[in-house]
Amino acid sequence: MKNKLGVKLPDHIDGIGKILPYKGPFARVRGLKKEGLTTTGVKMRASLPGKKKVFKDLKKVIELSGLKDGGTISFHHHLRNGDFLLMNVMKVIDEMGFKDLTLFPSSLTSAHQGIVDYVRKGVVKKIYTSGLRGELGKFISKGNMEIPVVIRSHGGRARAIKSGDVKIDVAFIGAPSSDREGNLNGVRGPSACGSLGYAMVDAEYADCVVAVTDHLVDYPNTPISIPQYQVDYIVLTDKLGNPDKIGSGSTRLTTNPVDHIIAEKAAKLIFNSGYFGNGMTFQTGAGGASLAVAKYVADIMEAKGVVGSYAIGGISSYIVDIYKRGLFKKMFDVQSFDKGVVSSLLNNEDHLEISADFYANPFNSGAIINNLDVVVLAAYEIDTDFNVNVLVDSHGYAQGASGGHSDTSAAAKLTVIVAPSFRARIPTLVDRVNTIITPGETVDILVTERGIAVNPKRKDLLENFKGKGLNIIDICDLKKKVDKITLKPRMVEFGDKICGLIEYRDGTIIDTIDQVIE
């Protein structure tokens, strides 16, 4: 069968099950009532007063957790590149002789390259994640896993857990601080990472929750991000992670002049879009041009005396600074991007920690992003239908992350993609992206250093931008302009094997990661 975007898909994949084809950003959301789904139950646990929860031996706790071969274990990636926990747990699991596990982290980073060995040994049979990097991404893209990896957005992961598509047997939660009963937060301790937003969903729906901490504090540990009634065991460890890699001081603004050109144009567009004004809600990524857009938007807000309602998403210290300038009233934080954010989350009552469910799950009674006015996002590739790839690099390898890209772009009233028109000599703007993460029907504007393209379905925006000196051109003409400079690169060759499935936030399959032929 083919999905709405023409991607060929099998009806069924062994180890995955029935494949639902993507039918449009809200097709399944609209029809969900008819599906009559119910949230699956979590295994009931009971505990006697005075039950001992704290252990020093991880192995002992894994035995107690009831994990079996073929089970599903989950992790969060709030410790980013500094995470020690996932690999430490995998080492013990391997020593204990477990096989055929499903590894279900909220994402994988450069700290997790060692997983390749556990796949080879048969310890890990399936991987469900948001992102893949480095050797692991190459390993998967070369077709080395029997069962395709499933890539989910942050909202889509929350949906998959809540709907029972993925049942977590044991959730291992890296806890920067915990008390003896398992009240957890990410804002205290040597491994403080800020928000525990992704882990909150795991804690609620896993059959067994194991918190691992390097900072056990007196009872009660507050603020309580994950409450003790969801936590079964607490394991003490020397170090959860490398603090230098967990958070890099504070996020700095790019000095790349091209990023600034793009960002300034994007801010001007946002200002003229009709969504700029008091009470606006805003999200932007932490990298390069995206964060620079926040600077220029904030400057315009200040100049015009505009105060926004909230900034949301991954929160960086730069966004905290904008809040401190009085330009937004609140910040919703599902993931803190740098160390500078941690003290704000701890001390500032307008800085609110939220779960991935609350943030972006399409299958609940209203995620925060449903009220998002403007989101600014990046792209590895974008095509003339405005489809965006943020996962597969120009060599065909999975080297990125789905993140909240497709969630926010579906929900926001205005989705702005900022990207240079080419990187080194590889064009960003292509006929068809390698792998669709975000469908073009949810993307409104592409801003490059060489011109701005507006999705033709947004006639209202085109009208608003008229006569504003914004240099808007048809996306196909923009592509021609770029092609003239870069010429057409030779394309990577792909085989027939499906190495990964890109699951859209609603659980349907929007695209595949194909096998790179070397």
Partner 1 sequence: MKFKTRRTMLYIPGNNPGMLQLADIFGADAVLFDLEDSVAPNEKDAARDLIANMIRFREYENIEITVRVNPIDSPCFERDVKEIVASGKLNAIRLPKANSAKDVKTLEKLINKYEKEYKLKPGSIKIHPMIETAIGVIRSYEIASSSDRIDAITIGGQDLTANMGVSKTKEGKEILWARSQVVMSAKAANVDVIDTIFADINDEEGLIEETRLIKSLGFTGKAVINPRQIKPIHAVFAPSKDEVEWAFEVIDAYEKALKEGRGVIAVRGKMIDPPVRKRAQRIAGMAYLMEQE
Binding site for partner 1 (CB under 8 A): 257-258, 260-261, 449-450, 469, 484-485
**By C-alpha distance, which of 150, 144, 210, 212 is closest to 178?**
212
What distance in Å separates the CA atoms of residue 315 and residue 285, rounded to the nearest whole number? 8
Q: Which helix (H) or strand (E) holds 194?
A: none
HEC profile of 201-244: HHHHHCCEEEEEECCECCCCCCCCCECHHHCCEEEECCCCECHH
Minimum separation from the CB atom of position 257 to partner 1 (A): 4
Show the tokens assigned to 267. Answer: 């801010």
Nearer to partner 1, 147 or 472 (CB): 472
* CA end-to-end distance (rounded Å), the chain: 28
Residue 306 C-beta: closest distance to partner 1, Å: 22
CB of 295 to partner 1, least distance (A): 13
In the complex, the smallest distance separating the C-beta of residue 114 from partner 1, rounded to whole angstroms, is 36
- Residue 175 pairs in a beta bridge with 213
Query: Closest CB to partner 1 among 77 and 450?
Result: 450
Angle between helices 58-65 and 85-95 (to 10 degrees): 70
Write down the least CB distance from residue 258 to partner 1, Å: 6
Say how many CA atoms lie within 13 Å of 292 toward its Cβ.
22
**Cβ neighbours around 458 below 10 Å, total:** 18
64 vs 473, beta carbon nearer partner 1: 473
Nearer to partner 1, 215 or 260 (CB): 260
113 half-sphere exposure, CB direction, 13 A CA radius = 9
**CA 154 to CA 428: how far, in whole Å?**
24
Q: Which of 323, 187, 336, 320 is nearest to 248 (CA)?
A: 336
Nearer to partner 1, 224 or 485 (CB): 485
Nearer to partner 1, 168 or 445 (CB): 445
Please say which residue, 254 or 316, places its beta carbon nearer to partner 1. Answer: 254
Q: Are 461 and 468 in contact, with CB atoms under 8 Å apart?
A: no
CB of 450 to partner 1, least distance (A): 6
Q: Which is nearer to partner 1, 422 or 504 (CB)?
A: 422
Rounded to a whole number of angstroms, the minimum distance from the CB of residue 484 to partner 1 is 7
**Shortest spacing between CB 128 and partner 1, in angstroms:** 39
